[in-house]
Amino acid sequence: MADEATSDDPSTGDRVRRHVFISGRVQGVTYRASTRRAATERGVDGWVQNLDDGRVEAVFEGPEAAVDDLLTWCQDGPEMAIVDGVDAEAESPEGIEGFEVRR
């Protein structure tokens, strides 16, 4: 199975990293806590935080399929959220472990 690794860095394996910005009514609706729960359920590491401009920013690292699934979840988010957009940029994995809600 080692042939499946696509990275030159053996510590990242088949991990991908996405830097994500979510816009809409995404603050004050449990978006960050729900994102942490959704990420943990999918085995995705990273962090999430509110931005002063009303958006939510996040970084997701993990297996590509799990990260893609979490990005799909972000398009709806928790029940009270109204998501207008999800912008994600690919970055090189940094080996983040765990998932943090930043203040």
Name the active-site residue from 17, 32, 36, 42.
Answer: 32
Q: Is the pLDDT of residue 8 over 50?
A: no
Q: What is the pLDDT of residues 48-92, one digit of tens each?
A: 999 999 999 999 999 999 999 999 999 999 999 999 999 999 999
Q: Smallest Cα–Cα separation from 77: which of 98, 48, 103?
A: 48
Residue range 21-49: mean pLDDT, rounded: 98
Contacts of 69 (CB under 8 A, 6+ apart): 42
Q: Is 50 a catalytic residue?
A: yes
| pLDDT number for residue 13 | 64
**What local confidence, expressed as pLDDT, does residue 103 receive?**
85
Q: Mean pLDDT over residues 31-50, rounded? A: 98
Question: Model pTM?
Answer: 0.87
Q: What pLDDT does residue 86 have? A: 98
Rounded distance between C-alpha atoms, residue 25 and residue 13, angstroms: 35
